[in-house]
Every structure is written in structure tokens, then in C-alpha cells.
Amino acid sequence: MSGVSVADRKTAFAIALACFCCVGLVGCADPGRGPEARKKTTDADIHAEPVGVSGSGSQQDADAVAKAVEATVVRRDSAGLHALFDNAQFVNQVFAGLHPEKKFRAEAEAAGLSKLSTNIMSAVEGGGDYGFVRHVKRGTEIRPLFRLLHPNAGGLNYHELIVARDATGQPRISDIHVYISGERASQSIRRLVLPAVAANNEGIVAWLAREDAAIVRNFSILKKIIERNEAQDFPEAYRLILTLPRQLRKDKSILLLKLVIAQQLGSDEYLKTIRELEEAWPNDPASDLWAIDVYATQGNHEKVIEAVDRLIAATEDPYLNYLQVDGLVSLGRIDEARAAIAAARAAGVDTLDVHWVELGFLLSAREHAATADMLDTIAGKFGIQFEDILEIPEYADFVASEPGKAWMRKRAEE
């Protein structure tokens, strides 16, 4: 009826999770209900926002989960991280009021947020970071806030981990509020599994909003988009997105997916998509995270600094000061750039990207002795050889300086 085949239904949750993880990197159904025993589905069921599951949300539970997550990151333990997610409670929120087939629910619960935990650990193993920032209070809930840094300046995101007690009374992660998408993972995935649920429940179809009905009708195209993206066929994935109906192209999940794909195609497509996102969601809490890229590409350093200031106020994360350094240097505000680096060091992030920021500042400030020390630090920690340093214009003043000449002689003797 909707273009959703049996095979599609079997993999719908995995497809939704893949779509969510592209940008992420993100109420109970009766498990005994099958096609033969469904209650009438109402408009309130369909559009109900997944609510937080009941749990202590206590400081003690939040501390326990935060420390457990940090330990898995230190061990590079993707399976251990995945085990901290309570898939049953997460899936309850995804399917709240939808009453999926028992088998579909079981498949979804088995998958849970496994792909997200794998992607987080892949980022860490590649030179990124997943670090605890602070605890955030939302009503009576205490949520650990984690910062996700992708390697090679590949992106920044924040996750509020929603903590609840599982069936055995242990604190675990029941959902994640993802800053880059401005909503919970369960909300993002919920919209994308609607086609599979609707294919076996006409009561749901009758109550779908226009945007949700469009997702159902275009599920086969969405599936192809995810497949092409995962195969790194970005031009085809982008082309397929442009074939979607206009109202669906304005859906937040689709716009964010388009943005991730456009980022691989060049600045024109990327900037155009960011503008579309800002126009469709002008007051979205994620807007500053995306806007930084736009302003930096445009060379609008003042706007970058303003956007970062707002993010620092919202997250209380000192790491974000690093994002202001290049802009401050370009504006000649060297003392402020030095202060930003000092403030950012409080975050304790020790990635290669952070060292590049500091090295760039030292070169611009012509602090040659400190530049030599930073080059040694980067070489020792990350194995960078700097074999072509004489060919890079930014290093000209350094190699002509006495500390630079001494560093070059020492390197030649090694």
C-alpha cells in the first residue's frame, strides 16, 4: 500500500538508525500485540512526543553512568558502551502509541543504539574524543553532557544522556538528546520507522500528518539515500534527496541528512543547505552549531565569535574557546586569542586538532621558542614528521628565527 516491502519492514529500524547516525552522530507498545489484536490508534498516539521513562534521574545515577561511559572510552570498548544503553526503554519511546508487530519490535530492541555506540568509538579510535563536560539539570532529571569530537576537524556535537533505572534497578541510558538535531534520538528515529509500522496498521495511516504520510510514501527513496550515503556515493545520494517532495525536504531529519551529504560535495552545496536549515528552523537550538561553519567559510570572524559565545553560555564547555582562536587572530586580537587557548585547556582535550589550533596561534603570534616546543610535542604524541616545513609559507618566520634554526638543526641530527 505504501511501497514498503516485507524486506523493508525487516530492516526499517536499522535504516532509521543509520539515518539518525549520519547526523548524530540520537509510552509503551504492548509486546504481545500482533496484527490480529490492535487497538484503534488515535491522533494523540501518533503525534505524542516520546516522554522520559520513569527513573530516579538522581545525581548518583548520573554520576555512575558518566563514569561508566568514560571508562568504556578509555578502553575503546564499543560493546561495553552499547551495554550501557537500555534498548527496551529506548524502543518503548520510539514506538509509543504505535503498537508495532511483535517481531518488528524485537528486531528494533535487538538493534537499539548499537550503531551510535559503534560510531562514537570509531570517532575516538580515529583521533576524536568523547568527553564528559558537566551534568545538566532538566526539571527533576540530572543528565550527563558529553562532547563528541570527530577526528580531522570533522565535526562537533553534544549528547545529553537521559538516565533511568532498568528492569533490574541499574542506572542506564534510556535516550539521548542530540544537540546537532535539537531533539531526542527516539524522536528522530520514530518519524523514520513510521512507514514500516503504517504498512501493517491502517489505523495509523488514517491519522498521519502530511509530513509523516510523505515519509511513508517515499520510504523506498529514503532507503536508497541511506544506501548511497553509506557507499560514499554522495552525488547520487544528494540527487535522490532532491527528488523528494518539497514538504519532506523541509523535515528536520531530511535536512540534516542532506547537510551531512552536502558537506562531502563542496562548499556551495553545503552553504546552500545550511541556509535552507536556518530558514526552515530559524530558532532551532542547533543553529549555532551549523552557523559556525557558514560564518567561518564566509570569513565572518565576528559572527563566529558571537555564535561560539552563545554556545559556551549554553553548554558551559571551555573547549569551545578553541573555535574562536583563528577568528581572534585574524582580527588581530592576539591577547584574546591567547586567553581563549588558556580557557580551552581547562577542558582537558588532548587531540591532534587541538594542538594544530595552538600551533597556528603560536606561528601567528611569532612566539618561536614556544612554536619549537609545540612541534616537538606534536611529533612525539602523534608521529607527525614535518618533512615539508620549509615549503609552507606560514612557517617562514619561524624557520628564519634563531629558535627555528636550532629546531631544524636538531631535527637534521635525529
Mean pLDDT in residue range 63-69: 97
- pLDDT tens digits for range 108-122: 777 667 778 888 999
What is the per-residue pLDDT for 2? Answer: 44
Give percent of the chain above pLDDT 70.
Answer: 79
- pLDDT tens digits for range 183-196: 888 888 877 777 66
Cα–chain-centroid distance for residue 363? 31
Distance CA 346, CA 317 (A): 9
What is the per-residue pLDDT for 404? Answer: 96
What is the per-residue pLDDT for 37? Answer: 28
**CA quadruple 26, 29, 33, 37: dihedral sign:** negative
pLDDT at 213 over 70: no
What is the per-residue pLDDT for 12? Answer: 53
Mean pLDDT in residue range 35-64: 52
Report CA dihedral (162, 165, 170, 171) to the nearest 10 degrees: 20
- pLDDT tens digits for range 123-152: 999 989 999 999 999 988 999 999 999 887
pLDDT at 210 over 70: no
Q: Reading across the β-sheet that carries 129-138, which strands appear in turn?
A: 129-138, 141-150, 155-165, 171-178, 183-184
Q: List residues bridging with 175 in a β-sheet.
A: 162
What is the per-residue pLDDT for 385? Answer: 87
- How many other β-carbons are positioned within 10 Å of the β-carbon of residue 24? 26
Looking at per-residue pLDDT, the higher value among 274 and 100 belongs to: 274
Q: List residues bridging with 172 in a β-sheet.
A: 164
What is the per-residue pLDDT for 36? Answer: 27
What is the model's pTM? 0.78
What is the per-residue pLDDT for 44? Answer: 38
At which residue does the C-alpha cell 545529553 appear? 160
pLDDT at 361 over 80: yes
Output the average pLDDT for the chain. Answer: 81
Looking at per-residue pLDDT, the higher value among 238 and 116 belongs to: 238
Residues 6+ apart with CB under 8 A from 367: none
- pLDDT tens digits for range 6-36: 444 445 555 555 555 555 553 222 222 222 2
Reference 229, options 2, 3, 21; nearest CA is 21
Give percent of the chain above pLDDT 90.
Answer: 43
